[in-house]
Structures are given as C-alpha cells and as structure tokens.
Structure 1
Amino acid sequence: MFNRNTGIILAIALAAGLGLVLAQKVFGPSSQGTHDSSSIIFYGTPRTLPEFDLAQSDGTRLIPGELRGHWTLVFLGFTSCPDVCPTTLTELAQAQKQWQSIPDSLRPRVVFVSVDPERDTPARLGEYAHAFHKDTIAATADVPSLERFATSLGMLFQKVPGKHFEENPSDYSMDHSASIAVLDPQGRLAGLMRPPFNPQAIASDLIKLTENTAP
C-alpha cells in the first residue's frame, strides 16, 4: 500500500489548502487586519487554543500558560527533515537575533514542535533546535496529542514510509505543513505566516507587535 505515497501527499496538500480556506472563513483574515504587518496574515478574531501538554527538551512541560505574555511563532517539523525545517529554523534564527535586545519577559518566542516523536527524543530535539538559536523552545508529544495540537493550529502532518519501510521501520519521512502559526500574548491563534519567509520582515513585525502590546 505504500506505493500510493504520491496520492497521500496530494491529499495532504489538498486538505491543507482546504484547511486554509476554512480558517479564512472561520477567522476572517483581512489584508488590513488589526495590525500593520508585512509577514503575517492576521485572523479577524483570535482563537483560543484547546488544552495541550507537550514535553520540552529541558524536561519541563509546555502548556498554554507557558506561552502567555509573549508573541509566539510555532513551527512543526522534525530533526531528519532534509530541507524545509533547517531552512525555516535558520530564517527564524536570523529574526531572533534582531529582537535579542528585548527583555526576556517580553521577547517573542519561537517554538519548534517535532511531529516525529518516534525518532526525536526531547534531548535530541533540543540539541537540534538550539544549534540554530539557543532561545528556541523545542517540544514534542505522543502522536495523538501532536495531531490535536496541529489541528488546533490549522496544520497537518503525515508519516510517509520509504521504499524499505517493511524491512526497516526507520525508513520513513514526515510530510508537514510549512506555515508558521502566530500566537498572541494571550496564547490565542492570531494568524499565520506562509513561506517563503523574510527574516527581516518577521523581526520587524514581531518587534512592532511586542512594542504595541507591552504593558
């Protein structure tokens, strides 16, 4: 059944496209939105995320309250990703360096969530993410929890077996959404960023958003 990978990938892409259309209808994004931004598509009404509980690389739990007080960018991926993940994390790291002077209590957060818990232990995930930027939060969970979390962000992921999967269960890759979810300081889903990403624009937008929402 694994020779239908192409069909699976197309189905995921279609579902992702439909998901974006649905999100636009539900959340009402606007080209104007409530913020002036060049990198973010804002939803008309931020959405409160359902409860989630992920394991961080430092051994603590990532729960909704941990992200409050900061603008947060959430990106799904996995450490064996050949191109999209390292490219995106590099671009995000370039943006992170530009807001480094913002006090830690307000500084925007970047969260990298692995959708490959079978291979990405919290320790391995932390080493990978922190190689791009030391402030990146790295987390993962069991597959059902990850599916609920990804769905709440309007994102998808799918395990894609390789040619030798039956002989070698580690021969697989992960298809996943390439967009970045944007959470506001209340921890609500406020918008998204779609590739290609511009680190300078991301940094500029997050700096302005932080300044505008600082107490």
Structure 2
Amino acid sequence: MFNRNTGIVLAIALAAALGLLLAQKVFGPAGAGKRDTGSIIFYPTPRALPDFSLGQSDGTRLIPGELRGHWTLVFLGFTSCPDVCPTTLAELARAQKQWESIPESLRPRVVFVSVDPERDTPARLGEYAHAFHKDTLAATADVPSLERFATPLGLVFQKAPGKNFKANPNDYSMDHSASIAVLDPEGRLAGLMRPPFDPQAIARDLTKLTGKSAP
C-alpha cells in the first residue's frame, strides 16, 4: 500500500485544522493576535518540528537547520500536477519577485516538496520548480520520509491510481493538500495559508514579518 499511514495522517491534519479554527476564534484573523497579516492564519504558539531529511534538487540535504533564519513557505505537489501545483507556484513566484530586493540572508523562502518520488527525479524537480522562480527550493524523499515531514505540518498526500493502473503503473495522480505551511525563522510551524492565494498580500505580509524578525 502506497501510504500506510493515511488514516493517521488525515486524523492529524483534521486536528491541525481544528486548531487553526480555534486560533481564529481566540486570536482573530491573524491567529496569534500580534501580527497584522491578512494571508496567514497563525497558530496561537509556533510548533517545533521533528527532525526530517529530504533530498534537494541540487544534491544537498534539506534538514531543519537549513530552514532557520528565514520565513519559509512549504507547498506539497508534483511535477505532473495539471492545475493546482502550477497555479500555486506561479502565484508564489509573483510574490517572490516582489521581495527580491530583500537581502538574500533574510529573504523569505519557498520550498516545493514533491510527493511523487517515483517520477520526480532531482533533475526534473529542479527544472520544474526553477521555471517558476530561480529561488524556489525543490526537494523530495521516499514516502516514509515525506510523511514524517508533511504530517507535523498538517499536510497530507496520497497516491490516486488511474483506471489503467494495473496495466500501466505510471497511470496515477497524487492527491495532496493545497494549503501552504508557514515556518518562522526558528524553523517552527507558525501558521497556514489557504487558497485562494493573493500574491500581493503574501508579498506584503512576508516582507513585513521579515522586517520584524531582522536583527
């Protein structure tokens, strides 16, 4: 079975969604009540992530330390995705272009994580992600490692076999969360962005947050 922990992952994702709804009720649209942002639903308290290790398209490892020092947006997808992935990456690219003037050492990051490691080789994944924006980081891993990374973020994915899957193992798609996880400069899960996405609002909010977290 492709995703043995689907039930557990879905339960955790539901719990995360309920937590975000509670945060909205208690803290208002910005969740934490301390940041005036319109594109992010904040958790009441940032959540530390367990260790993870993904392979980036450039051959290096994506580990917790790599995500510290920047606000980071994490989006799950796959290169064969017909609609949601290219649309979301294009919207994120528009936001990225607006914050290119921020010093690289502080600039917000976008991480595209492929949940289709069978077909998305590092070269293919990198070429796909960089076609939208040169700064987008692209990574993937085996399914258990992807689950360990995605589950604490409240994100889910599952293989969806097509009608001819038995005869053609490549006849499948990937169901996955369309939301974007937001990590703070400490590498903790700070909140979530839900579609539809507004590139201008994302750029404005991430620029503002970067300014507040700058030394």
Which TM-score applies when normalising by structure 2? 0.90
Aligned with 2:118: secondary structure? coil
Residue pairs, 1:26-41, within 5 angstroms? 30-31=27-28, 32=30, 33=32, 34-41=34-41
Alpha-carbon distance change, 166 to 52 in structure 1, aligned in 2, over 3 angstroms: same
Residues 22-31 or 83-92, more deviating: 22-31
Could you report, residue by residue, the CA deviation over 1:184-203 in whole angstroms, capped at 9, with x for unpaired residues? 00000000000000000000
Q: For residues 123-166 of structure 1, give each alpha carbon's deviation from its aligned partner in whole angstroms, at most 9, with x where no partner exists.
A: 10000000000000000000000011110101100000000000
Aligned to 1:213: 213
CA distance in 1, matches of 2:205, 2:84: 22
Cα offsets for 1:30-75 (capped at 9, x unmatched): 3242211000001110000000000000000000000100000000
Residues 13 and 198 (structure 1), Cα distance of their counterparts in 2 relative to 1, 3 Å cut: farther
Identity %: 75
Listed as ranges, the gaps of 5+ residues in structure 1 are 1-11
Equivalenced residue count is 206
Work out the CA distance in 2 between the residues paired with 1:54 and 1:29. 35
Question: Secondary structure at 1:160's aligned position in 2?
Answer: strand
CA contact (8 A) 2:91 2:197 kept: yes
**Which residue does the alignment assign to 1:5?**
none
- The residue aligned with 2:18 is 21
Answer yes or no: is 1:123 the counterpart of 2:120. Answer: no
Structure 2 residue aligned with 1:99: 99
User: Aligned residue for 2:165?
Assistant: 165
2:128 is aligned with what amino acid? Y
Q: Is the 8 A contact 1:29 1:41 kept in 2?
A: no
The 5 Å alignment of 1:55-134 reads 55-134=55-134
What SS class does the counterpart of residue 131 from structure 1 fall into? helix
- Give the conservation status (yes or no) of the 8 Å contact 1:70–1:185: yes
Instruction: Name the CA distance, whole Å, in 1 between partners of 2:153 and 2:80.
Output: 22
> Do the aligned residues in 1 keep the contact of 2:112 with 2:138 (CA within 8 Å)?
yes
Partner of 2:5: none
User: Which ranges in structure 2 are unaligned for 5 or more consecutive residues?
Assistant: 1-8
Indicate how the Cα distance of structure 1 residues 198 and 29 shifts in structure 2: closer, same or farther if over 3 A, else same: farther
Deviation at 1:121, TM superposition (A): 0.7
CA RMSD, 1 decimal = 2.3
Aligned partner of 1:185 in structure 2 is: 185
Secondary structure of 2:170's match?
Answer: coil
Scaled by the length of structure 1, the TM-score of the pair is: 0.90
Change (3 A) 1:27 1:122: farther
Q: Give the corresponding residue for 1:145.
A: 145
Distance 1:111 1:191 in 2: 15
